[in-house]
Amino acid sequence: MYFDKEFDNLINEYLMHPKVQEMSKYKHHGITRLEHSIRVAYYTFKVCKKLRLNYKEATIAALLHDFFLDEVEKENGIDRLIHHPKYAAENAEFYFKINEFQKDIILRHMFPVTFIPPKYLEGWIVDTVDNIASIYERCYSSANSLARTTNVITMAIISFIKFKN
């Protein structure tokens, strides 16, 4: 999806994990949660590397920032928004050896919805990249739905006109 050898090598081991693959079963802003996570990881990689920050660990944290599965199934929208970073951090700790730096990035990526801000600059970058990616994905998905609806209506009108003639 993204053509950067270093990025691919960095995330590959995590991406291949069956629990991470499971994220592709869940819809997230009109795409899969895995696609969203890879996008956030990629732009975190680009920005943090450019700024000479701890881009390797930040990229993994970004990949795992929404690493929750069915834990939120019974929760309403607001509770999901508030609680999912905690589930993601617990899963990341359970399945991988993440450090305190990465845990903070995952736990704080929903600031200001969750009240405690990220401790590290890399955390602010993941938070910002996640927000921009989410807005982009929502707009893209709405535009796609609109285009599909317009196509269906256009086809119906053309069929109707053909039928009348």
Q: How far is the CB of 146 from Fe ion (least distance, A)?
A: 23
Kindly state the tokens that stand for 162: 């053909």
> Helix, strand, or coil here: 32?
strand
Residue 130 lies near Fe ion (rule: CB under 5 A): yes
Q: Interacting stretch for Fe ion, rule CB under 5 A, among 8-16, 96-104, 111-119, 128-136? A: 128-136
Q: Which stretch binds Fe ion (CB under 5 A): 3-11, 15-23, 59-67, 135-143?
A: 59-67
Are 79 and 86 within 8 A, CB to CB?
Answer: no
Applying CB under 5 A, the span of 6-14, 58-66, 94-102, 155-163 interacting with Fe ion comes to 58-66
User: Could you say which residues in the range 2-41 bind Fe ion, by CB under 5 A?
Assistant: none
- The CA angle 98-100-101, to the nearest 5 degrees, is 95
* Distance of closest approach, residue 36 Cβ to Fe ion, in angstroms: 6
Among 57, 66, 104, 127, binds Fe ion (CB under 5 A): 66
C-alpha of 159 from chain center: 40
For the record, the structure tokens of 16 come out as 């291949």
CB nearer to Fe ion: give 122 or 130: 130
Q: What's the rounded Cα separation, in Å, for the pair 105 and 41?
A: 12
Segment lying near Fe ion (by CB under 5 A), choices 12-20, 54-62, 63-71, 152-160: 63-71
C-alpha count within 13 angstroms, C-beta hemisphere, residue 92: 25
Say if residues 111 and 127 touch (Cβ distance below 8 Å).
yes
- Minimal distance, residue 67 CB to Fe ion, in Å: 10
3-state secondary structure of 77: helix
**Cβ distance to Fe ion smaller for residue 76 or 146:** 76
CA–CA distance from 148 to each of 4, 29, 58 (Å)?
Answer: 32, 17, 37
Least separation in angstroms between CB 114 and Fe ion:
10
Using CB under 5 A, list all residues that contact Fe ion: 66, 130
